[in-house]
Structure 1
Amino acid sequence: MLRPSLLRSDTQRDTHSYYEASVVRPPALPPLHGTQRADVVVVGGGFSGLSAALELTERGRRVVLLEADRIGSGASGRNGGQAIVGYACGMAPFEAQLGREAARQAWALSLQAVDLIEERIQRYRIDCEWRRGYLYVADRPRKARALRQEMESLERDYGFATTWVEGDAVRQYVDSPRYVAAAYEAVSGHLHPLRYALGLARAAQEAGTLLHEHSPVRRLERRGPRVQAHTDAGVVEADFAVVAGNCLLPEYGPGVLPPRLTARIMPVGTYILATEPLSPERAQSLIPCGAAVCDNNVVLDYFRLSADHRLLFGGRVSYTTMTPPRLRATLQQRLQAVFPQLAGVASTHLWGGFVDITMNRAPDFGRVEGNVYYLQGFSGHGVALTGLAGRLVAEAITAQSERFDLYTRLRHQAFPGGPWLRTPVLALGMAWHRLRDALG
């Protein structure tokens, strides 16, 4: 069992986030006080909750959104900013569990998820530094073979073409001696995630959503056919609830979802280092294609350039809920292994926090007792998929649920070991994967 406030306090996210430092937040929204009635109550002010609230409000529903901290204070406001097509699990679970036709539908939805980001940015005039382009890289021959097989499978089975390069040609895309092969595609992209979250919140408010910050939901209760969301100082009674609290939910509100559902996700700490601003020419020379970059190791490095020409580099994870020791030095070493030419460049920001993963890395969407919907298990692919999830749950509540139900058909398991042992079991398993990656 996690000790109180572990996921909120034992991370670098409050130390020095580049994203927080590069925005001006609006004044805090008032906490919920007293009783309110709504058609839908949304729990969580990240991408998925904001997306659901915006979509539902625009469909004519009265929506109240309750955020335990500040809008975008969880994974949505501190992630790597990479909006990626597909799923963290790949397409294999969809194919094996749902069949090839349903898998193709799921793939098409993942493409729509990225397009939805661009659609919302344009429609709601969200200044979040959006840019298309994504580069998958491999740092050794075995990984290159696996990456090429994956890209060939996507083109053969899903019609998704990438540009393949290897050897010296890789440096036309990313100027690093580390990588032996790469695949480039122009569909995925990257953005400033906190700016995007705040833009969604503004759009939802302008549409008519009522947003409350510092309003953690402690429990959901049935009241006849309706549901009540209880905070420390108020209650929202609604026909439907959308729960989008992810891995922080059990800590803030252990009575919100049944334990059998929260046991299906685990928190994984992920951390990012930002360099000092580089000259535009030097920054462009690092990633000439301008894409977000990610390798295909189990414990991976991912990085991109910011609009003010910093390198934002993520490459350290924690499966124990504890902040890794010597975090800044470790990330600096990993960064310089990728870009030796940045030796001596200072880092100015270091931050991180927790994302939720499922056992099979597939998203976990569903409903409880008919009118409580939940969205969890984005497993590191949430920047794009969360927005789609919000749209699909709004469809399910207001019109038809066929697209939402595609995901509910995926089967999930609780992590082994129960509340006491599942974290060390996961950490041990990932240590084995790290060793395998290191051995090539």
Structure 2
Amino acid sequence: MQTILGMVLRHKKGEPIGVTSVCSAHPLVIEATLRHSIKTGQPLALIEATSNQVNQDGGYTGMVPVDFRDFVHAIAAKVGFPLERLVLGGDHLGPNAWTMLNSSEAMAKAEIMVADYVRAGFRKIHLDCSMSCADDPVPLPEAVIAERAARLCRAAEGAFDGGAGDAPVYVIGTEVPVPGGAAEDLEELAVTAPDAALATIDMHRGLFRESGLENAWDRVIATVVQPGVEFDHDKVVDYRPERARALSEAIETVDRLVFEAHSTDYQTPQALASLVRDHFAILKVGPGVTFALREALWALDAIEAETVAPERRARLRDVSIARMRAEPKNWRKYYHDRGDALTLQLQFSLSDRIRYYWPDPEIAAAQEQLFANLRETPPPLALVSQYLPLAYAAVRSGEQSFDPADLVMAHIAATLDAYHGACHPNG
């Protein structure tokens, strides 16, 4: 944790540096992230799981926290990434997965989840109790949000049994809209008011201290606010520094804290750099990297159609869409079009709800068959250039092979390049 704490301290002293937080449970995304970190010489790789991906009930990945830890550690061992440079984080840890329950039940489950995360070795913990449960008012009062966050922090601290240098660091607050991209169309977002951001910090600070969590408060490194960035199905709200200037200046008065920016997916490299400069020093990306994953897989599907006999084709794209239609629970509340418009949303929405389906056994089997086909019949250079020009550049420079997994990771790495440039502008 000293690396993250040191980064925050350097930023507070005036260095325009930040850290990228990759929030994904897909093995190719995680491997691409670790390989990219090795290539660029980053001091750490921060990989986060969300409360709906990974929890004591399994989440949509089927993994509990210790499973996710072992899963990421195995990938790190495969690529030779040193574990001392790997930080695991928990995103939106709170009652989000159980809001259909009354608050007492939901918070009891959230306490178990947070403790399980800490015991499994997750050391960056985002305490987010902003969502209303079945018996709560909407919206939830700020004081209730902060009191519940302190309660979860107490559970996290109670679960930690290591040395002081390895103690968890915390992030408070939440962004609007809800995690994972907006469900409805966007026009323009309201930037968090500076007074509101400072009040959130003050409210949490007071309740942490009342709860005997002074030591834990000293390890709160960031608060999540809305800097005016978001995306929905087919639009991106770009960062406009002038709209967030007062908010940016407000955090300069707060010792040890920076802002954490969520939903930075699809921002331009220039916008990402401006965010870091303006003290949004922790940049979260999730759908942006899984969207790149899906782009690459669809490109490989197209290459397969050009090079592999029809009876041998995996038809990953067709299998994936069929499984999404057969099991709509993970996209039904987000996608509302019909017919061809729905087909487009299922595949190409920027909110990328297809990411919930990659662990599906039929889809996973189709992906494995696609890769096997392209290993048996390697794609010609011209087709890589046609369908995966970013990976083509990596192949031509000698950085990647023609292996389909390498081509996918090269495409993902192009997204990570923009984040690295923003967080490490001086190299």
Specify which structure has the higher proportion of helix.
2
Specify which structure has the higher proportion of strand.
1
TM-score normalised to the size of structure 2?
0.30
